[in-house]
Structure 1
Amino acid sequence: MNLKFLFGVFTVYGVLFIHVKAEEDSSEEVTLTKQQVFDYLKILKKCELDSGAKPKYIRNSIMGRFKPEPKFKDYLYCLGNSTGLLDKEGNIDKKAFLHKTNSLIKDKEQAEKIVNSCLSQEADKPTAIFNTLTCYNGMRSKI
């Protein structure tokens, strides 16, 4: 997989997955070091390999086209698990999701509406994160 493709995936998923463990009350802009970017790119590659997700599904998701394919769901689950978006039980951590959404959408009421509308806690955890991120992507594109 080439670096340009990985960077594209990084820019799309990075907004949700990087620094979800940041302090809840922090309103500071987050600047990533080269090492943090490198570490995140390693996570992307590891999750791709571990899940067996097809690169075309990952590429399509960059453009907002999410395919409900099991291995792609596993890829998203791996990203969430590797970056702190999931709690210890593997469910989406609402606080982390809301915090990250608030850092991207300055209107806190709008951010909370998106999180409450999109948060999925289905029994099948990869499906839950897939549904949550698909909804999030759709609602965010309307803002």
Structure 2
Amino acid sequence: MKAFIVLVAVAVCAQALTDEQKEKIKNYHKECSAVSGVSQDVITKARKGEFIEDPKFKEHLFCFSKKAGFQNEAGDFQEEVIRKKLNAELNDLDATNKLIAKCAVKKDSPQQTAFETIKCYYENTPTHVSLA
């Protein structure tokens, strides 16, 4: 779930990611930045824990979430994908399930859902990844 990068973060120990996974994350970030038109300043702030209510940033996060397999086109969570990827980082199924229950909550739009979920993961995990 860390793959949520910059996103932010999502989470957990950077050393646990392989070079291939890091490259995928960078590519997702670049592709989603190009599609959303989000300001790099907004992304930089998010990496530091300052999540700005910006429609382009929310679109960026939703794009990233879809590419990572965490949400589908309709914005629905893909819980088994999230559980598998997050537990690989946390290595604690109980903690993983608690984090999913707390953070994977559907909101008014897929973009708002991605934004609030990533923000929640950022606030509730000890280590964050910043790759781009």
Task: Report the counterpart of residue 118 of structure 1 in structure 2.
Answer: 103
CA shift, 1:32, in A, is: 3.5
TM-score normalized by the length of structure 1: 0.70
TM-score normalized by the length of structure 2: 0.76
- Give per-residue Cα distances to partners, 1:76-128, cap 9 Å, x unaligned: 00111122111353322121122222111122211111110111212300000
Task: Report the counterpart of residue 32 of structure 1 in structure 2.
Answer: 19
Q: CA RMSD, aligned part only?
A: 2.8
Q: Count matched residues.
A: 121
Structure 2 residue 55 is matched with structure 1 residue 70 = yes
List gaps (5 residues or longer) in structure 2.
Answer: 128-132
List gaps (5 residues or longer) in structure 1.
Answer: 1-8, 18-28
Structure 1 residue ranges (4+ consecutive) displaced by more than 2 angstroms after TM superposition: 9-17, 29-33, 36-43, 87-90
The amino acid across from 1:32 in the alignment is D
Aligned 8 A contact 2:71 2:78 in 1: yes
Report % sequence identity: 23
Alignment partners' CA distance in 2, 1:139 and 1:15: 11
Write the mapping of 1:1-143 to structure 2, written as runs, cut at 5 A. 12-13=6-7, 31-33=18-20, 37-141=22-126
Aligned 8 A contact 2:103 2:117 in 1: yes
Which is bigger in relative contact order (C-alpha 8 A, separation at least 6)? 2
Alignment partners' CA distance in 2, 1:117 and 1:39: 27
Specify whether residues 141 and 14 from structure 1 end up closer, same or farther in structure 2 by C-alpha distance, changes over 3 A only.
closer
Alignment partners' CA distance in 2, 1:11 and 1:75: 11
Specify whether residues 90 and 12 from structure 1 end up closer, same or farther in structure 2 by C-alpha distance, changes over 3 A only.
same
Whichever of the two has the greater Rg, that structure is 1
